[in-house]
Amino acid sequence: MKDLFRLTRGEQRVVIFIVVILVLAAFTQHFLDTKSKPLPARSTSSPTASPTVRPESESDNDDSR
């Protein structure tokens, strides 16, 4: 049982290669998942202003046209 984890140089390389492949696959999966989710839409137009309220004296002038 003491020699359970004693690996030859070739076996060590295979284990390291498999671990590297798994890490790269996990990183790629994470990268693709974060890139494929759309970001919330930003409004490119300026916010609409509320209608301006004119004083009554100005609105009287509009009626006389």
Residue 11's pLDDT is: 94
Reported as type and span, the H/E element at residue 59 is helix 56-63
- Would you report the helix, strand and coil content of the chain in percent, each value rounded to 5? 55, 0, 45
Q: What is the mean pLDDT of residues 25-42?
A: 81
Reported confidence tier of residue 53, pLDDT bands at 50, 70, 90: confident
- Are the C-beta atoms of residues 7 and 15 closer than 8 Å to each other? yes
Higher pLDDT, 38 or 59: 38
Residue 13's pLDDT is: 96
